[in-house]
Structure 1
Amino acid sequence: MLRSLLICTCILFFAGCSSHSMYNYYVEPVPITKGVTKYKLGTVKVNLTLGHGAIEGDETFASEEVLNQEFFDDIQKYMQEQGILAASENQESPTVDITIDYKRTFNIGGKALRKPEISHHVVVSQNGKKLADFGMSHYTTKYAYFEEAAVDFKILSFLWDEKDEPKDVDLASQLMIKELAGLGK
């Protein structure tokens, strides 16, 4: 009897954990259809912080404004590729606003980078009404297997620098839009 109760409890616990969604919906019925709804890209706001090792006044790396534009361009590109970017004349489409906390991390000496620490929060709204949101906190970029090894080697060799940072921006943008494409019922 005790064994059966323990098994049932474990099954219920794991069933509850597996059904948790990364998406929060604020309107029922959900007016967003996965794979069908197209979105307008609203604001993309990057909050840049510099991690340990940054050199005061060094302008080698992209400014917050430049990073903001890089994220905006990449996000728009991936929305277009996923087929979820609304035509600019479509005023009825939901709007996507994205806030990105981007912590630039440095190798010893401040002249080379490590992978950034990123958090993002995506809000989907329509006519001023919040429909859904989702996000992810404190993650870093993860490349394909062999590319990951090459990136790690460059980081360990103090060779991952300002020319490579756009690759991290691109990969993070791709992740955000993959999540956005999965939004809806």
Structure 2
Amino acid sequence: MRQLVLPLLSDSPGAFLVVDDSVQDKRYRKSIAVAKRQHSGNVHGMATGIGPVNSVYSSGGGGDFVLLDFRPYAPDQDTKTTNDHFLDMFQQVAAEGKLLARTILFDSWYAGSTDLKKVHRAGRMFFTTLKSNRFVNLSKETGCQKLDSLEPPAPGWSKGVEVRLQEVPFGVKLFKLVATNGDIK
């Protein structure tokens, strides 16, 4: 699929690669082998469906999202997790070296130390969310603490603060975003 769409992209180092999963509702399925019960953010719980992991390209302009790759989440058939699919797709893009996009966007599901280290080693920048129970280290003196127990830095969260994540050998810049509905990321 990538070979078909690569010539159509207005690629640049400022472009983005977005990796996300979804669940396509198949509650009335009769015999779809890859449909299974899995967590769906859309229904905020378990749902029966097909769960593709998608790799999408965007130049960052007005809503231009182009599907580059997808992998169905079907652990009964291929024994792969959604994280395995994330890494497979990312490593394939990195190995090909055809995309100029340097920034990868993904949610907390893919923000494990293994994934972060592989993205970092490939020389890419990432933006992700972290789960509130993740351990971070502001300095050697303070030691590790849960993310949700952090006090705001002196200049506030808008400038961010550099932290170390457990099992991640490089610093990351941490920001706190509060949505209009009160959700904190």
Q: TM-score range by the shorter chain?
A: under 0.3
Q: Which has the larger radius of gyration?
A: 1
Whose RCO is larger (CA < 8 A, sep 6+)? 1
Please give the TM-score of this superposition, normalised by the length of structure 2. Answer: 0.27
The structure with the greater share of residues assigned to helix is 1
